[in-house]
Amino acid sequence: MRVIRKTIIEMLVVAAVGLTLGVVANAVRGSGSLQWNKSYFASTPAPSADVESPAGSNETASDTGQPAKQPYQKITVDEVVDIVGDPDYDRGQFVFVDARNKKSFAEGHINGAMRCYHYELDSCIEGLLEVALGAEKVIVYCNGGECDDSKYMCQELIQRGVPEQAVYLFEGGWEKWLEEEMPYVEGDE
């Protein structure tokens, strides 16, 4: 009995030290720290009216609990290639948003893309909104595959006032861009 009590006390001491270090480390970390109360993965509620995009490409409900219709649009890699390849392509009309972390962005990104990582929103959202609010199309991408960061970024932009019709999720994201052997730039800018 004494051994059991001692073991439990030791476990509680280990847990208390771990908890304290975790709290302190998160507080002093700066970039990369997590906010305790923020719901990083909460989906936005579905629009009250039936919203149909011109392309009819809104998402349908999935088993993971996403709302029946996401308000943002979807754009394929072929459409993105057409936009970028258009001789009259005016970058001011279109804003590319790279929703990946700093390391992935530096390894390669679409030229002119603005980086805004969903988990470090405070450091980038204001600058992004200044540009996005006046753009014709805001095209958001992340790694592709299982990456959902671009979805969350689309939701954030719409919640912060960017018109739904202007926000586009780039299906396949960076993976597709590389598959098409499209040009890219490296570095933090």
Partner 1 sequence: MRSSSSLFNRFQTAGVPLLAARLVLGGMFIYMGMNKIADPVSFLKQIHLYNILPESPGILLNSVAIVLPWLEVVAGAALLWGLFVRGASLTILLMLLVFTPAILLRALAIQNADGVPFSEIAFDCGCGGGAVVIWKKLLENGGLILLSFVALISRSRFLCLEKLISGRRTTQGSLCSCGCSLSGDTSGTCPECGIATDASPVSSVSSSAKELA
Contacts with partner 1, residue ranges (CB under 8 A)? 2-3, 6-15, 17-19, 21-23, 25-26, 29, 32-43, 64-65, 101, 117, 119, 146
Tell me the closest approach of the beta carbon of residue 184 to partner 1, in angstroms: 23
Please check whether residue 111 is in contact with residue 186, taking contact to mean a CB–CB distance below 8 angstroms: no
Neighbours of 147 (CB within 10 A): 16
Which residues, 6 or more positions from 110, have their beta carbon under 8 angstroms from its beta carbon? 84, 96, 98, 141, 177, 182, 184, 185
Q: First vs last Cα of the chain: how many Å apart?
A: 63
Cβ contact 108:115 at 8 Å: no
Q: Which is nearer to partner 1, 17 or 55 (CB)?
A: 17
Q: How far apart are CA 153 and CA 134, in angstroms?
A: 17
Shortest distance, CB of residue 135 to partner 1, whole angstroms? 27
Min dist. Cβ of residue 30 to partner 1 (A): 12
Using the minimum distance from each CB to partner 1, give the nearer residue, 32 or 127.
32
CB of 159 to partner 1, least distance (A): 14
C-alpha span between 149 and 99 (Å, rounded): 6
Is 21 or 178 the residue whose CB approaches partner 1 more closely? 21
